[in-house]
Amino acid sequence: RKEVEQDPGPFNVPEGATVAFNCTYSNSASQSFFWYRQDCRKEPKLLMSVYSSGNEDGRFTAQLNRASQYISLLIRDSKLSDSATYLCVVGNTGGFKTIFGAGTRLFVKA
């Protein structure tokens, strides 16, 4: 079993739609959680950290469920520019052992 698992997609949604991604992790001792965004043939960039209480940044909402060991990302009112691969990232104690999921591809269409 992979340490961090994501549905690879692709998710094909129309503009304005709401889309949600889940990510599961296997290490119950994991301490930190992030979503990164990676555009085609580009480097990953931090989208948002995920906090225990859940957090929101504009159209993006991230949730953490420690009991079930998953994190989620919700995108509301999807834009064409949201088309990218979204990487789930889980960090363990010390921050060095950061595990990246393989990513979920999103295509937003007009």
- C-alpha 16/C-alpha 13 separation (Å) is 8
- Closer of 25 and 78 to other proteins (Cβ): 25
Nearer to other proteins, 72 or 76 (CB): 72
User: Least CB distance from residue 6 to other proteins, whole Å?
Assistant: 8
Closest CB to other proteins among residues 2, 59: 2
Give exposure, 24-51, as e/b (b: 16+ Cβ within 10 Å).
Answer: bbeeeebeebbbbbbeeeeebeebbebe
> Smaller CB distance to other proteins: residue 37 or 108?
37
CB atoms within 10 A of CB 100: 16
In Å, what is the CA distance from 4 to each residue of 7, 29, 33, 69, 78?
10, 13, 11, 10, 25
Q: Does 54 bind other proteins (CB under 8 A)?
A: no
User: Does residue 44 touch other proteins according to CB under 8 A?
Assistant: yes
The correct pick among 20, 26, 42, 59 for binding other proteins (CB under 8 A) is 42
Residues 74-103 that bind other proteins (CB under 8 A): 87, 91, 94-103
